[in-house]
């Protein structure tokens, strides 16, 4: 059986060295390369064709999330395991939406990291216990259902964001709730204002609440 080919993508040399050393002494795992930036991870994924990439989220230039997205657009067979210090909801769900197959924290036990790599390499999805709890809580929470006949000129996503605006949420809170970037939310909000022909957030809130949004 051929060893599982792994690419490490992380800008911290101490972590790269530590994980490389760990994998070198683990049977059936082989490190084929190391990337220190998101752009380098994309390039090495294409040239080396690893089976699993250990992806940090916070890297210079291209982020780990965007690198994940770009890699999987052209190499959907590669499996990406996020290994990071960030455990906030926005980071977790943004990475998942980009196509990551697992998410563990850097302070996990060595055996947990190895087990996660092997699981992702075998086609499974795996998460640290803390991350798994966040996923369960997220999907257990009710989502607002906004009828399509309310502001039919808006898209489903725009109606969802308008509902959150009507509850008093700011752009950062909306971004975290929907696992979007703040810039993306800002663009949606601008589109909503234009379509509803309102001058500002206060006027949008009034229109939305008059239509029954933001009340639950």
Fold for domain 4-138? Answer: Rossmann fold (3.40.50)
Q: What is the mean pLDDT of the chain?
A: 87
Domain boundaries, the chain: 4-138, 156-210
The pLDDT, as a whole number, for residue 92 is 80
Q: What is the pLDDT of residues 113-172, one digit of tens each?
A: 999 999 999 999 888 877 777 677 666 655 555 566 778 888 888 888 998 898 888 898
Selected residue with higher pLDDT from 119 and 89: 119
Same-fold call for 4-138 versus 156-210:
no
Selected residue with higher pLDDT from 177 and 53: 53
Note the CATH number of domain 156-210. 1.10.10.10
DSSP secondary structure letter of residue 91:
H
Which of 181, 188, 183, 121 lies closest to 159 in space, CA to CA? 188
Q: What is the pLDDT of residues 191-206, one digit of tens each?
A: 999 999 998 999 999 8
Exposed e or buried b per residue across 42-68, where buried means at least 16 C-beta atoms within 10 angstroms of its C-beta: bebbeeeebbbbbbbbebeebbbbbbb
What does pTM read for this prediction? 0.65
């Amino acid at each position: 059986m051929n060893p599982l080919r792994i690419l490490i993508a992380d800008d911290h040399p101490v972590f790269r060295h530590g994980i490389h050393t760990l994998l070198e002494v683990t049977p059936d795992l082989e490190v084929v390369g190391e990337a220190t930036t998101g752009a380098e991870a994309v390039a090495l994924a294409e040239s080396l064709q690893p089976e699993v990439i250990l992806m940090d989220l916070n890297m210079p230039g291209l982020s780990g999330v965007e690198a994940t997205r770009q890699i999987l657009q052209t190499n959907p067979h590669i499996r990406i395991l996020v290994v990071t210090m960030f455990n906030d909801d926005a980071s977790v769900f943004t990475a998942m939406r980009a196509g990551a197959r697992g998410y563990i924290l850097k302070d996990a036990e060595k055996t947990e990291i190895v087990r996660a790599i092997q699981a992702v390499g075998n086609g499974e999805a795996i998460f640290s216990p803390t991350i798994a709890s966040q996923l369960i809580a997220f999907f257990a929470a009710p989502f607002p259902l906004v009828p399509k006949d309310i502001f039919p000129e808006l898209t489903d996503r725009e109606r969802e964001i308008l509902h959150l605006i009507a509850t008093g949420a700011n752009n950062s809170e909306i971004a975290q709730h929907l696992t979007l970037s703040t810039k993306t939310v800002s663009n949606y909000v601008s589109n909503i204002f234009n379509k509803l022909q309102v001058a500002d957030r206060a006027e949008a809130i009034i229109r939305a609440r008059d239509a029954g949004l933001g009340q639950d």
